[in-house]
A and B are shown apart, each in its own frame.
Chain A
């Protein structure tokens, strides 16, 4: 596709369930980022992938959060045992240089 694609666009889950969010970056983009945006707040860095290098996981808020990416392809962000405070929009971005392109995000609601 032409842009960064995220799925699902919306996800409602029950507290305690696991969720998996998907990001399809722009083809050829070596860098991929995940951010979290809580309602009315800025973007909180979660994790960064650059090619085959070890990811920068310094922003993951707890061990319930994990992310994977194989090479320069799709990435999945997994949240285990979801809590209500995990409710947010999860944004993915990809880049091959100076500019990062963002997807539309996945709105996660934990009830």
Chain B
């Protein structure tokens, strides 16, 4: 099966909070990442969390990591239309380097 799994689609109303979820299988992953891909654009790193942390907050973004359940989430507060994009969860495999394994991406649609 896939190493990293995400739901494919999320629709939220402008101003509400969005929560994008991700599960991974490798308990030895060192870092977990959230990337954003806007239409026709490359991937942009939003944030990342080290595997020994539970939470990381950066302005409107909150990352929660449940290492026991191998569950990662990204919460976007006060979601705006500019947040509409595909959000990819990724884990880095151990082994001396950060080989990134990505999920299939969650398409976030923000509507008025």
Contact = CB atoms under 8 A, between A and B. Distances in A.
Interface of A: 31, 33, 35, 41-43, 45, 48, 50, 56, 91, 93, 95, 97-105
B57 to A, nearest CB: 18
Contact of B105 (A42, A98, A100, A102): A42
B42 A43 contact: no
A98 B56 CA distance: 16
Interface string B36-50: 000001111100100
Contact of B48 (A50, A91, A99): A99
Given A98-B31, A98-B48, A104-B42, A42 B88 contact: yes
Interface residues of B, number: 20
A91 B43 contact: yes
B41 to A, nearest CB: 7
A43 B41 contact: no
Contacts of A56: 99
Contacts of B42: 91, 102-105
Where chain B touches its partner, the secondary structure class is strand
A42 B104 contact: yes
A103 to B, nearest CB: 6
Interface string B76-105: 000000000000101000001111111111
Contact of A100 (B98, B103, B104): B98
A84 to B, nearest CB: 22
Contact of B100 (A41, A100, A104, A105): A100
A98 B105 CA distance: 20
19 contacts: A31-B97, A33-B100, A35-B102, A42-B102, A43-B88, A45-B99, A45-B100, A45-B101, A48-B97, A56-B99, A91-B42, A93-B43, A93-B100, A97-B98, A98-B98, A99-B45, A102-B43, A102-B44, A104-B41
